[in-house]
Structure formats: structure tokens, C-alpha cells
Amino acid sequence: MRHSSMPDATGEVVVISDATSSLGRALGLALARRGAQVVALAHMPAELAEDGLPSLVADVRDPASVAQVFDEIRAWFGAPTILINNAEIHPDRDILEETPDSFMDTLRINLGGAFNCCHAALPSMVAAGSGRIVNVVTFADIRPAPLSAGYSVSKGALRILTRALVADLGDRFPGIVVTDWIPGTHAPRRGVVDVIDPALAAEWGATLALMKSPELNGRLFLRDREHVPPQSLRGRVKDRVLGKGRRRVRLG
């Protein structure tokens, strides 16, 4: 199933963590072009966006900092209707060079930051009975690359957080839709040659963020389409006979 590539975002209040990264900035601009009120979160004042998007400073590792900035967003722009958890770090560090503090700092940003933002955004989403959360994830946990222990563990745990959110919210608040998105590598990285243009990835991500069907709850999207785990021939035949088969959703 192919989705319209340019759904309207008028009336949406979108919060993007680490909107100073190439992908985060491109996502903000793509959603703003579609009519959304985008608020970009930056880690430090020096990183505030210079592209016309409203920007606020928040250390996503710090729950108090995140809570304060979300209070400011509600006061100035309205309650967030869409949250994109994009904040991450990817330190290239050998496990023998890793320390407990450096390892946990990666988890505090990549995993804790997403939880802190969800915790701050969810009360108004629950009150409204609707909302959208997109967690930017990877497959790093499936086959961790060298020099990426903290990154691999934290990004794998973030996918588990998505499933936990769906488990707790899905039945009571089906209008709050949570999905995972793997945009593809969008910055030069050691050993990666298939790099995605952030502007192209942002168009896919913007479309996904504006799709609010409860049927998407808990699904995983890889680049521009839904990712379905490999299934055996017997499983595919069984699903087809029982009428459980479905077409993968595409974003453009």
C-alpha cells in the first residue's frame, strides 16, 4: 500500500529531539513545509538552528530539563501532537576503552533521552486521546559493529521501549500511535558506503510522522517502507489461507 507523499500537517505541533543533526534539521524543514508548527530541540545554545525553526535548548539526558522545555512548548506553541525521538550519539570507542560512565552516557542520551521526551509528551496526548511518536532506531543490536557497544545496546533497547509503549498504551489509547523508523545511514560513517541523503530520508520520515492509523502501532519502517521480518514459506501460505496477509505500507 502506497501512501500519499505529501500529507497536510496544518495544526500539528511537532517536537524533534536533536534537530541540529542533518536528519533532524531536514525533518523539521520537511514538516514545516507541510504546515506543521515545528519546535527543534538542541543540546547547547551554540547548536540552535538558523533555518527559521523555533529552537529550544534541552539536555535530553536530564528529565528536569526535558520537562521544563515541554512546559515552555505547551505555553508558547500548544500541546505537542507529534514527537520524533531523533537524539543520539555514536561514539567510536573500543570496549576496552569504554568506561562505565561513557557507556551509560550513551544509554542516557540514546535511550533515556527518548524515554524522557515520551514521559513529558504523553500527558497531553493522553488527555487528547491522540498523538504520534516516532522513534528513530537502527538494526545495530542485531549485529553490533566494532567500536559501537554503547550505541548498539542503546538503539536495540529503544526498539524494546517502542514495544513497551505499545503494550501499555495500545489498548487504552489506540489514538496514540508509536512506530519505529530506520532512516538508513544519513551521515558518513566508518565502513558504510550506502549513505542516504538526509533531505530524501526526511520526506519519508515526515510522511510517516503524519500517518496516524492505529493499525501502524508498533510497526517498524525501514527507509521508505514498512519492514516485515522474513517469514517461512509455510507461514506465508498459512497467512494467505487465513486471510492474514497484508501489503506493506510505503511512504512515497
Over 50: is that where the pLDDT of 189 sits?
no
Where are the extended beta strands (E) located within 58-163?
Answer: 82-85, 131-136
- Give the pLDDT confidence score for residue 2 in this predicted structure: 53
Over 80: is that where the pLDDT of 159 sits?
yes
34 Cβ contact list (under 8 Å, min separation 6): 6, 7, 8, 9, 10, 206, 210
Dihedral sign (CA 5, 222, 183, 67): positive
Nearest to 159 by CA among 184, 130, 177, 139: 139
What the block records as the C-alpha cell of 96 is 576496552
Sorted by where each starts, the structural domains of the chain and their CATH numbers stand as 13-242 (3.40.50.720)
Q: Burial level of 54, CB count in 10 A (0-12/13-18/19+)?
A: middle
- Give the pLDDT confidence score for residue 233 in this predicted structure: 61
More confident residue, 238 or 119: 119
> Model-level pTM?
0.91
Cα(9)–Cα(217) distance, rounded to whole angstroms?
Answer: 20
Single-letter code of the amino acid located at 201: A
* Mean pLDDT over the full length of the chain: 90
- Give the pLDDT confidence score for residue 186 in this predicted structure: 57
DSSP string, 4-18: PS----TT-EEEETT
